[in-house]
Structure 1
């Protein structure tokens, strides 16, 4: 993932029909990498700014996901986001049973957040 460190986010696209999120980032003068998160379940982005710079994408564990996003999950639960569930254990079980991974997106500047998806690919 070294080519994404300090890369500029040129664009991202969320495809709900095919359940994928694609980011195009630029590093080293006009060199680009496509980052493809496939089969996503949920995502949350903050601070989408023109000229956003990625610092890193790190995989976290599902228990961390729940702890780090407790306030967001509590706030959105009544709106059936990211799904309809009775207790947080139901959500964790669903995520684990469906083999979703927790990818945390860190920024040096701008867009940051996370994606729950079944995998991520980096294509030059």
Structure 2
């Protein structure tokens, strides 16, 4: 439902722990939002006009830890993504709290990851 969608914009709502990636389905020209809920942390790269979504995948928190050791070490003394002593403790905290590791892959442009509890794809005009 989001493959080959063009990213129009994204909103990071820190207060409500939510990220919304606004996209357009190029075949139907309808807008589709990728809504990530109860976000702990995120990291995006290569944001540019015309970015195209390849896929959004979900992995476990151990994959998040293993793939981001350097960025976690750099953020640890700033309380990011949360207070913790060891990476094992961080993994346990995030896993027990129900977090998942979402990866945004692109065929062009913006890519990255989000640690959140839930993801919902919402076609505009079909919201409840």
Structure 1 CA distance for aligned equivalents of residues 62 and 34 of structure 2: 25
Q: Which runs of 4+ in 1 moved over 2 A?
A: none
Query: Aligned residue for 1:123?
Result: 122
Structure 1 CA distance for aligned equivalents of residues 77 and 46 of structure 2: 24
Structure 1 CA distance for aligned equivalents of residues 41 and 82 of structure 2: 9
Q: How many residues align?
A: 122
Query: Aligned residue for 2:21?
Result: 23
Q: Which has a greater percent of helix? A: 1
> Which residues of 2 match residues 11-90 of structure 1 at below 5 A?
11-27=9-25, 28-90=27-89
TM-score in terms of structure 2 length: 0.90
- Post-superposition shift, 1:29? 4.6
Structure 2 CA distance for aligned equivalents of residues 12 and 74 of structure 1: 27
Structure 2 CA distance for aligned equivalents of residues 44 and 67 of structure 1: 15
Structure 2 CA distance for aligned equivalents of residues 35 and 90 of structure 1: 30
Q: Which has a greater percent of strand? A: 1
* Structure 2, unpaired ranges of 5+: 124-128
- Post-superposition shift, 1:60? 1.0
Aligned with 2:4 (options 3, 6, 10): 6
Judge which range, 38-47 or 75-84, deviates more.
75-84
